[in-house]
Chains A and B, each alone.
Chain A
Amino acid sequence: MSEFFAMGGYAGFIWPSYAVAFGVMAGLLLWAWRTARQGEAEVEHLRAVGLDPRRRQDAGVDVP
């Protein structure tokens, strides 16, 4: 087992490579997922508010 983690003495290069690759991909997916979800929730919210003029001002939408 410890032989596996030692990677023939190259553990210090191999494991960081895998960590960077999977870390960056996980971060990318998390960011993409969160921005999509937040944006879509905001659209839904604004649409619901937009249909009801009385709620527009409460929601902080500028109505001239």
Chain B
Amino acid sequence: MHRFANPTRFLRLANALLPWLAAAAVLLLGSGLWLGLLRSPADYQQGETVRIMYVHVPAAWMAMAGYTTLALSSLAFLVWKHPLADLAARAASPIGASFTAIALVTGALWGQPMWGTWWVWDARLTSVLVLLFLYLGHMALTNAFDDPERGGRAGAVLALVGVVNLPIIKFSVDWWNTLHQPASVLRLGGSTIDPAMMKPLFLMAGGYLAVFGVALILRIRALYAERRLRQLRLSLTDA
């Protein structure tokens, strides 16, 4: 693990991975769209609106995956104080926020025709909104300090405190009476979703994950360049 904590080595590996991830994103999203829009049936209850699932559910998964990335990077930064972990945490939050926003907006567009309302303050929707605010708070806090080290630490603490929200989101549909439906794919006792819908859903989820990976690598590169620029400016003025 520590071998890859060297930024140069990490970036060499990440850059080698980048074209493959980009190609995977195009292929997976392309085939997911094909199956999801053209080759999968309408739902017996929800009709054609079930197709919103293919863009909504993977976004919600990535919103959770983004926070997991943020939390693990923050933990690594607090424990080992490695700058790369700080960069990974800073890179993860705007990406997680983007997927959370997609989940919230597509959820509203699904809620209106199926529930008769764009928004309801039930436990699932509210806890996902809190997730968005955690991401935005993390972005604001890490940039609120002149010293990036202090900003990174403050952000890492916030990120770890916010982890409590993850099980709340996941189990909100079981613990409370929500308008949002309970889990049908990632649940104990097996999935209850039809294979014809499962396939496009997983293809889209793979595509979203590849997009997540590409964005994460590019943002780590951008933040690393920013950090080096700062050091170069300091060394040039000191010289």
Residues of A within 8 A of B (CB): 4, 7-10, 13-14, 16-18, 20-22, 24-25, 27-29, 32-33, 35-36, 38-40, 42-43, 46-47, 49-50, 53, 56, 61-64
Contact = CB atoms under 8 A, between A and B. Distances in A.
A18 B109 CA distance: 10
Interface of B: 37-38, 42, 47-49, 51-52, 55-56, 59, 94-95, 98, 101-102, 105-106, 109-110, 112-113, 208, 211, 214-215, 218-219, 221-226, 228-229, 232-233, 235-237, 239
Contact of A14 (B49, B229, B235): B49
Nearest to A28: B98
B221 A40 contact: yes
A62 B239 CA distance: 10
A36 B225 contact: yes
A36 B218 contact: yes
A10 B47 contact: yes
A29 B225 contact: no
Contact of B49 (A13, A29, A47): A13
A43 B232 contact: yes
Given A14-B48, A29-B214, A35-B219, 12 more contacts: A14-B51, A21-B59, A28-B98, A28-B215, A32-B95, A32-B215, A36-B219, A39-B223, A39-B229, A49-B236, A56-B236, A63-B239
A45 to B, nearest CB: 10
A42 B225 contact: yes
18 contacts: A7-B51, A13-B52, A13-B110, A17-B106, A20-B109, A21-B106, A24-B101, A29-B215, A29-B218, A32-B95, A32-B218, A32-B222, A33-B218, A39-B224, A43-B229, A61-B236, A61-B237, A62-B237
